[in-house]
């Protein structure tokens, strides 16, 4: 084989290897293993892998009719988790927010109007986070410090706003997609299959989620996992 042919052959193999690596990395990002968001900033996609903790975190902009049942189930299993609430939803349902807080659950920030962070400038992103946090504080006495971007939308302006306001950006490692697929069996499967230490499992207050929740919590308990809040889950080990 001529030298030029050998060079082309080697170059082609290198390109193929690089493509495989890039595809693999893209897959890891999609599933929340790599925590790098827009602009090289860090979002948190899972908790501490050294502890058997899981968090079925619940994003709330609607579903108030199903929240009481979900709160009852969580109380029955004696677990506390994190609810990321929208500010405009809180303004309409202040008593439900108080019920969530009174039950001992952690309250996170899900923006004020569920806007796409990538379509907002710095000032608008700042307002989305700040207004929600102040709305929560007015009703619970405590401002939020965790921010779950609506629709998982990331941007440099959002990261900068979150940092300025003292919020860590929280994503997820598992998504039940319960807002789309109204099937409790699917919710159960997505919340339990391949469960790992530190998983953050995205949910919403729907009836089929409430239907699946007892089996989900029982699965975690029976398999040695402890349900904790996001803050507990992402806390580093202290030596």
Q: What is the 3-state secondary structure (H, E, C) of 100-134?
A: HHHCCCEEEECCCCCCCHHHCCHHHHHHHHHHHHH
Per-residue confidence (pLDDT) for residue 80, from 0 to 100? 98
Output the pTM of the full model: 0.83
Task: Give Cα separations from 175 to 9, 97, 138, 142, 220 (angstroms).
Answer: 42, 23, 31, 28, 16
Give percent of the chain with pLDDT exceeding 70: 82
Both tokens of 220, joined, read 């975690």
Reported as a pLDDT band with limits 50, 70 and 90, residue 42 is: confident
Report pLDDT digits (tens) over 99-114: 999 999 999 999 999 9
Instruction: Give the CA distances from residue 187 to residues 44, 76, 181, 192, 208, in Å, rounded to whole numbers and listed in that order.
Output: 22, 20, 8, 9, 8
pLDDT at 186 over 90: yes
Mean per-residue pLDDT over the chain, rounded: 87
Residues 6 or more apart whose Cβ sits within 8 Å of residue 227: 53, 54, 55, 56, 77, 79, 80, 81, 217, 220
The pLDDT score that the predictor gives to residue 39 is: 44
User: What pLDDT score does 11 carry?
Assistant: 41
């Amino acid at each position: 084989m001529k030298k030029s042919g050998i060079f082309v052959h080697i170059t082609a193999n290198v390109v193929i290897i690089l493509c495989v690596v890039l595809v693999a990395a893209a897959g890891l990002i999609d599933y929340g293993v790599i925590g790098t968001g827009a602009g090289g900033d860090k979002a948190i996609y899972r908790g501490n892998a050294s502890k058997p903790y899981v968090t079925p975190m619940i994003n709330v902009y609607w579903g108030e009719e199903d929240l009481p049942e979900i709160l009852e189930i969580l109380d029955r299993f004696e677990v506390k988790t994190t609810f990321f609430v929208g500010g405009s939803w809180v303004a309409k349902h202040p008593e439900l927010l108080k019920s969530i807080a009174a039950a001992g659950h952690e309250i996170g920030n899900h923006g004020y109007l569920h806007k796409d962070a990538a379509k907002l400038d710095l000032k608008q992103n700042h307002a989305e986070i700040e207004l929600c946090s102040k709305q929560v504080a007015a009703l619970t006495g405590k401002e939020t410090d965790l921010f779950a971007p609506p629709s998982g939308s990331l941007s440099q302006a959002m990261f900068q706003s979150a940092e300025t306001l003292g919020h860590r950006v929280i994503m997820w490692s598992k998504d039940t997609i319960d807002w789309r697929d109204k099937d409790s069996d699917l919710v159960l499967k997505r919340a339990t299959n391949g469960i790992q230490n530190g998983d953050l499992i995205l949910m919403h207050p729907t009836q089929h989620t409430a239907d699946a929740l007892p089996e989900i919590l029982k699965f975690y308990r029976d398999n040695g996992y402890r349900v904790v809040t996001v803050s507990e889950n992402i806390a580093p080990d202290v030596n």
